[in-house]
Amino acid sequence: MKSDFLLSPAPLKYFKYLLNKKLSINSMEISSKIDITPHHIIRLNKKFKKMGLIEYEKIDGRTKGVILTNKGRKVALSLNKIYNLLEK
C-alpha cells in the first residue's frame, strides 16, 4: 500500500475524527459524521486494521466499533498536522 494513500481526503477525515474519540465508534457513526459512505468506511477499517492502526472492540455485545491503537494515534496526530497545514 502506498503511503500517499493516507494523505487522500477520506483517511485524513477519518483519522481527524477518531483522534478526538476515547471510546469505540461504529462505522455508521463515523460515516455520518464525516460524510463518507459506510461501504468506504468499512474498506478503510480493513486497511487500517491490517496496518495495525485500529482495533475492533465490541460496543454493545454484538456491534463492532473501532478505536485507534497507539500506533494509529501517532499516525493520526501526524496526519492531523498535515491536514491543518492543507486547510490554510
Q: 3-87 is classed in which CATH architecture?
A: Orthogonal Bundle (1.10)
| pLDDT tens sequence across 54-76 | 999 887 777 789 999 999 999 99
pTM of the model: 0.83
Q: What is the pLDDT of residue 5?
A: 66
Q: Sign (positive/negative) of CA torsion 70, 29, 24, 84?
A: positive
Residue ranges covered by each domain of the chain:
3-87
Q: What is the pLDDT of residue 1?
A: 46
pLDDT < 70 stretches in the chain: 1-7
